[in-house]
Amino acid sequence: MTSDSSSHTRNPHLDDDPAFALHRGGKLQVTPTVDVHDHEGLALAYTPGVARVCSGIADAPELVEDYTWRSNLVAVVTDGTAVLGLGDIGPQASLPVMEGKSLLFKQFGGIDSVPIALACTGVDEIVETVVRMAPSFGGINLEDISAPRCFEIEKRLRERLDIPVFHDDQHGTAIVTVAALHNAARLTGRTLGDLRAVVSGAGSAGVAVTKMLIDGGIGDIAVADSKGMVYEGREGLTPVKRELAAISNRAGLRGSIESALAGADVFIGLSAGEVPESVVATMAPDSIVFAMANPNPEIHPDVARKYASVVATGRSDFPNQINNVLAFPGVFRGAFAARATDITENMKLAAATALAGLVGDDLSADHIIPSPFDERVVPAVSAAVAAQAREDGVARR
């Protein structure tokens, strides 16, 4: 007796859920950019005409950028170990998220992408797999790979490849957070250099946000993990956290995040922890709360607003959503425009500056960052990234 799996794929009750109904059949397809209606067209699109193009690329490899889709194609790569708020759910279960990422690349940036979910989790395996498939792609977007492996994977791929490699969980989050915090500081009559911030979470996003805020000139910033504040000399730190301790927490804060928040100007939540209201009340006047855990922010916005002048979350149902879609389409669009070989730290800062600059005289407590649907976002970020790529010497045109 054989089992019938069709009940799983054609369960009518699933389609009662609008999310399942929308995702049925997937969210992507491949669409040709040329029409083939006759023998002449077939002879040009495929053999024998295609052979002339292949030979041209073999003689001048740089022609691949002009005569294939590679120059506008990103591989969205995951191993399914850190998916949204779901954790390690494996490569197949991660595919709806990767398809969603590809949809956003196309919808917001006009960039083609292919979701690639890998059935391996070792650093060496992932790096070698991506390196071997890289000739087909103009850029690599790493997605939902758990820390600390994600840091080593990105580092090694950047060393071995001459195309942009971008871990969006790190750098997309950092770009949008820095842009939003810049405007929150401006709204409250300060600059980044005036602020003391505390970050909850030393994972991929927490590390990247901290480093980028340091590069952006924040006054001081300290990070807490599940064991308390990260500081130089603390036992049991991973190499990534030791590096973080060496460049952050100039005040030498130790102990709990609750004690560190007393008198702090900024809270940045990038973890699943909860901060009590009594602790929020100890923050400095005109405090800024970015509680970005999903689906449950570390501090509920209604609570945060009792004490903070500016509140942001990662959710779309509250004002000031810190959403990575504000960053990655424009970053890749700009990198592709310059045919950049890398995405530098300066390029990320340029993206954040451009994004912040789109909020002008309409800056308010409920509007410190543009909407993802603001049509100015991708052109502004793209232009800033491309210009910085040329200034940094990583552009090929």
Q: Is 296 annotated as a binding residue?
A: no
Is residue 168 within 8 Å of 143, Cβ to Cβ? yes
- Name residue, tokens 């960039």: 111
- Name residue, tokens 């045109």: 397
Alpha-carbon span 176 to 109, nearest angstrom: 16
Bridge-based pairing state of the strands 220-225 and 196-200: parallel
Q: Would you give the DSSP letter of residue 367?
A: B
Which class for 275: exposed (0-12), middle (13-18), buried (19 or more C-beta within 10 A)? buried
Fill in the amino acid letter for 347: M
Is residue 288 within 8 Å of 266, Cβ to Cβ? yes
Grouping H, G, I as helix, E, B as strand and the rest as coil, residue 177 is: helix
Q: Is 323 annotated as a binding residue?
A: yes
**188, two tokens:** 């409250």
Residue 182 CA to its chain's centroid (Å): 18
Angle at 280 between CA 275 and CA 285, to 5 degrees: 155
Instruction: Label residue 221 left, alpha or beta by phi (over 0 means left) and psi (-120 to 50 means alpha).
Output: beta
Is residue 143 within 8 Å of 78, Cβ to Cβ? yes
Q: Which residues of 69-82 are buried (b: 16+ CB within 10 A; e: fewer)?
A: ebbbbbbbbbbbbb
Q: Is 169 annotated as a binding residue?
A: yes
Residue 313's CB: how many other CB atoms inside 10 A?
A: 26
Instruction: Write the CB contacts of 396 (distance below 8 Å, at least 6 apart in sequence).
Output: 338, 339, 340, 341
Active site residues per annotation: 46, 101
Which class for 214: exposed (0-12), middle (13-18), buried (19 or more C-beta within 10 A)? middle
Residue 375 main-chain phi, psi, to 5 deg: -70, -10
> Which residues make up each annotated binding site for (S)-malate?
294, 323
> Which residues make up each annotated binding site for a divalent metal cation?
143-144, 169
> Which residues make up each annotated binding site?
143-144, 169, 294, 323
